[in-house]
């Protein structure tokens, strides 16, 4: 692992300098290298990918282990607000293991941080198809649907946000923040009975979770 990061840096410099004019620019800053937008890599970019995979194969017994490391780094860069670098790490993880649900979760969160909420939905949907048992993932999905509702005022997105929160609560029934969010969602649609129900549940778990003012 000690040799992997310096070699990656060298490969990244080479990649930046060696591309031909036929190569799509900044493709490594798009989720899945722009696959959902039907972007195609050039020969140089494909060769770079193969070099990267070969390097990882020398460092890890399984590619999934290399993908896990890249996912970890992706989350670290995301939390540090280094969004382009985070996207690159998630993309490298995707090259190594496209079945890792956290990659698509990361894509969704990165797009959300850029306020591209509607564009993030397909990636969250892929993440949920792979793993629908993560309460925090459902919470982020709910937040995304809520933001799309605020942008579009289309009630179906508010309904999706509420349903996603219910999924999260089913998986993490003692999390007061989830009940607080659900209380707010029901208050927004003027369903006072439901809002009061979840407010009481929230208070039982954490009286400070919801500001009742």
DSSP 8-state class, residue 80:
T
**Token representation of residue 16:** 């930046």
* Lowest model confidence (mean pLDDT) among 14-18, 117-121, 136-140, 164-168: 14-18
Give tens-digit pLDDT for 109-121: 999 999 999 999 9
Domain boundaries of the chain, sorted by first residue: 1-117, 132-213
pLDDT at 19 over 70: no
Give tens-digit pLDDT for 174-212: 999 999 898 888 877 655 555 455 455 555 555 555 454
For domain 132-213, say whether CATH 1.25.40.10 is its number: yes
- In whole angstroms, give the CA distance from residue 95 to residue 49: 8
Residue 17, CA distances (Å) to 12, 21, 43, 44, 126 in order: 9, 11, 14, 11, 33
């Amino acid at each position: 692992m000690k040799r992997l990061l310096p070699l990656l840096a060298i490969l990244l410099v080479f990649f930046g300098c060696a591309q031909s004019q036929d190569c799509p620019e900044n493709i490594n800053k798009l989720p899945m290298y722009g696959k959902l937008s039907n972007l195609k890599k050039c020969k140089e970019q494909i060769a770079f990918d193969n070099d990267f995979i070969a390097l990882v194969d020398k460092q890890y017994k399984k590619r999934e282990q290399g993908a896990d490391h890249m996912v970890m780094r992706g989350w670290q860069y995301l939390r540090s607000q280094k969004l382009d670098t985070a996207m690159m790490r998630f993309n490298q993880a995707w090259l190594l293991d496209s079945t890792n649900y956290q990659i698509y979760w990361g894509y969704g969160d990165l797009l959300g941080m850029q306020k591209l909420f509607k564009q993030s939905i397909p990636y969250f949907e892929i993440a949920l198809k792979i793993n629908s048992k993560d309460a925090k993932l459902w919470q982020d999905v709910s937040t995304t649907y809520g933001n799309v509702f605020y942008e579009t005022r289309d009630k179906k997105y508010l309904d999706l946000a509420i349903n996603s929160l219910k999924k999260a609560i089913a998986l993490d029934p003692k999390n007061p923040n989830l009940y607080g969010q659900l209380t707010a969602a029901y208050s927004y649609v003027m369903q006072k009975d439901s809002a009061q129900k979840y407010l009481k549940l929230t208070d039982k778990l954490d009286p400070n979770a919801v500001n009742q003012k």
